[in-house]
Amino acid sequence: MKNTVFTGAGTALITPMTKDGVDYKTFADLIEWQIAEGIDALVIAGTTGEGSTLDDAEHREVLRFSVEQIRHRVPVIAGTGSNDTAYAIDLTKYACEIGADAMLLVTPYYNKATQGGLYASFKAIAEESTKPCILYNVPSRTGCNLAPATTAKLAELPNIVGIKEASGNISQIVETAALCGDKLDIYSGNDDQIIPLLSLGGMGVISVLSNLLPKETSLLCHKYFEGDTKGALAMQLGYLPLVNALFSEVNPIPVKAAMAAMGFGENYVRLPLTPMEEAHAEKLYAEMTKAGIKIK
């Protein structure tokens, strides 16, 4: 069995921004609130953190700032994947040097790859990393699916310890779990499938919902781990309307609107993303209120 990076809920953290750049004051406040609320890990500059529209200098500064702000109180998982393997290696080396605890490596987007290419790319990155790597399978965004057989082959590499599974394909995830066993930790990448993934032996979730509800999302996972499966399921089902509202437009548009409504910075996303449509936003705010979230 390999070392587990975290169990429970890891927030795929937003990157607060204004038209002038990253809002580091709000970013620090958000990190402190997440930790105070009991989050189990923080993922920096992933999809939800708009890593794809951070330029290289910003991406590195966001990672460095986060590592220094968090100060090893929870694991820092750095989003260092790319469709350019050489760039992913360079960014991964940097994240290792500054003290990130693990890497999140998305499958190559746009140019995609064969299964052989996926294996070769992830292997090349993992061999250059001094920290554990978590694969990220999200074919709806990348156009590229990481097959269970390829995942199992990658799980044989010492530095590849986990996978964030956001394919939504439960049958595929069952096959991955069967092939990998204790060689790979599985995390749900979809907030509406936390319980199904935990029931397959998953270690938790890398979550958008936990931007808003870090304590509750962590509690959902830990209830399940402690044997309160009915209580965990009730939470999963109870938050489903809010989860659906958070994905009524492409992530992270809704969660950025939600966090701004909670007082964490501006409702600002970078093009090609645009602010949430008013009708969707009204439904989101209504579901937040029903969930007990105070809107400022």
CA 31 – CA 37 distance, rounded (Å): 10
Residue 198 has pLDDT above 80, yes or no: yes
Res 1: pLDDT: 73
Question: What string of H, E and C letters represents the secondary structure of the chain?
Answer: CCCCCCCEEEEECCCCEECCEECHHHHHHHHHHHHHCCCCEEEECCCCCCHHHCCHHHHHHHHHHHHHHHCCCCCEEEECCCCCHHHHHHHHHHHHHHCCCEEEEECCCCCCCCHHHHHHHHHHHHHHCCCCEEEEECHHHHCCCCCHHHHHHHHCCCCEEEEEECCCCHHHHHHHHHHHHHHCEEEECCHHHHHHHHHCCCCEEEECHHHCCHHHHHHHHHHHHCCCHHHHHHHHHHCHHHHHHHCCCCCCHHHHHHHHHCCCCCCCCCCCCCCCCHHHHHHHHHHHHHCCCCCC
- pLDDT at position 243 is 98
Domain covering 8-224 in this structure, CATH number:
3.20.20.70
Mean pLDDT of 179-207: 98
Domain ranges across the chain: 8-224
Residues catalogued as catalytic = 136, 164
Across 128-152, average pLDDT: 97
Mean pLDDT of 115-123: 98
pLDDT at 296: 83
Query: Residue 287 has what pLDDT?
Result: 98
User: pLDDT digits over 13-69, tens only?
Assistant: 999 999 999 999 999 999 999 999 999 999 999 999 999 999 999 999 999 999 999
Q: What is the number of other CB atoms lying within 10 angstroms of the CB of residue 259? A: 21
What percent of the chain clears pLDDT 90, i.e. is strictly above it? 99
